[in-house]
Amino acid sequence: MPNTVTTPKPIIMRGDEGTFVNNLQTMLTELGYDPGPIDSMFGIQTEHAVKSFQADWGLIIDGIVNQRTWNALDRAMAGETPPIPGVVEWIKAHKLLTGALVGLGILGIYLVVKK
């Protein structure tokens, strides 16, 4: 019986190099994201492609390829379509609510001080 246990893929991010980066760049290219040249070097263009992929799949948008991102990439390569996140999840992922609340707080403080 073949061994069905798979070794988790490593966490990779900008600055990393090697086979896993090459595999990532190939996957992103095949999925329609542009990581730049497939050169086994995780640069800024690859990071942007990863962030776009993470946004589409409702993952934390940090440009770091951890096990969740690898799993989503594997599912995408198998033909699965990305989930459509709800508005709340989209806001959390993009941190817009935090920015809006901070902005409103600063505006409120400004208006109070200005009076």
* CA-CA-CA-CA dihedral for 41, 44, 50, 51, to nearest 10: 160
The confidence score (pLDDT) of residue 1 equals: 47
pLDDT tens digits along 47-93: 999 999 999 999 999 999 999 999 999 999 999 999 865 555 556 65
| Residues above pLDDT 90, as percent of the chain | 63
Residue 79 exposed, middle or buried by CB count within 10 Å (0-12, 13-18, 19+):
exposed
pLDDT tens digits along 10-53: 999 999 999 999 999 999 999 999 999 999 999 999 999 999 99
Q: Is the pLDDT of residue 5 over 60?
A: no
Q: How far apart are CA 27 and CA 102, in angstroms?
A: 38
Q: Average pLDDT over the chain, rounded to whole? A: 83
Q: How far apart are CA 22 and CA 50, in angstroms?
A: 13
Instruction: Please state the pTM of the whole predicted model.
Output: 0.69
Question: Assign residue 32 a region: left if phi > 0, alpha if psi is -120 to 50, beta otherwise?
Answer: left
